[in-house]
Amino acid sequence: MKNAATRALYGYWDRLRAGRAAPERSDLDPGAIRTLLGDVFILEIGGQARHGVRLAGTRICALLGREWRSLPFSEPFAPGEWPGLHALLDGVCATAVPAVAGVVGETHDGRRLDLELLVLPLRHRGRTHARLLGSLCCENWPYWAGQVPLTRLQLVSVRHLTPAGRPEEPDLVSPAPRLPLGRLRLLPGGRA
């Protein structure tokens, strides 16, 4: 994880889970992560949208130039990215193994911004396939961010994270989504 906000949210989630595969949604305390809330989102699994945005932070909405809440998570991604994105989100739900991904955002006039996407499993009222917690943030906020919206997001890399204290079992790690040739594909394994 490159971004300090990503590492901070992952650390908070890891402390909340207390050795479990995932913490309960009710365990979250917004006050404990108040400095991160602008980069945080919560997804609802199922319902009208396959992965609907229940909450989206103000910095995420500023980057997109619109409110993201109540929309499908895939909405700002190019349609060709949807299969890989759905595989990533479904994999985190199915395995309770967090993932971090590289995302490139592009504006209508061709400006590009490197973003980091973190996806963490959450239990909701005992259900494991109900919610996901995550963040979408950039390391350096460019001068034009919030004024020129990102009109398209593209998934460029995915890495699954095995939380400390959890054995690395090959059957718990879902494969990284298939990305077209010419892009970097990260496979789980090696260093955490």
What confidence tens digit (pLDDT) does each residue in 75-124 have?
999 999 999 999 999 999 999 999 999 999 999 999 999 999 999 999 98
Beta-ladder partners of 133: 42, 120
Q: Which of 101, 94, 85 is nearest to 21 (CA)?
A: 94
The CATH code belonging to domain 4-172 is 3.30.450.20
Phi, psi of 6 (to 5 degrees): -65, -45
Residue 41 has pLDDT above 90, yes or no: yes
Residue 9 has pLDDT above 50, yes or no: yes
DSSP designation for 24: B
DSSP designation for 95: H
51 compared with 190, residue with greater pLDDT: 51
Among 68-72, 160-164, 187-191, the range scoring the smallest mean pLDDT is 187-191
Residue 7 has pLDDT above 50, yes or no: yes
pLDDT, position 172? 39
pLDDT, position 177? 45
In the structure encoding, which two tokens stand for residue 122, read together?
């959450």
Rounded Cα–Cα distance for residues 48 and 164 (Å): 35
- In single-letter form, the type of residue at position 142 comes to P
What confidence tens digit (pLDDT) does each residue in 138-167 have?
988 899 998 999 999 999 999 999 866 554
How many other β-carbons are positioned within 10 Å of the β-carbon of residue 153? 23
Q: Which of 97, 115, 122 is nearest to 155 (CA)?
A: 115
Residue 184 has pLDDT above 70, yes or no: no
> Domain extents for the chain?
4-172
Rounded Cα–Cα distance for residues 143 and 123 (Å): 38
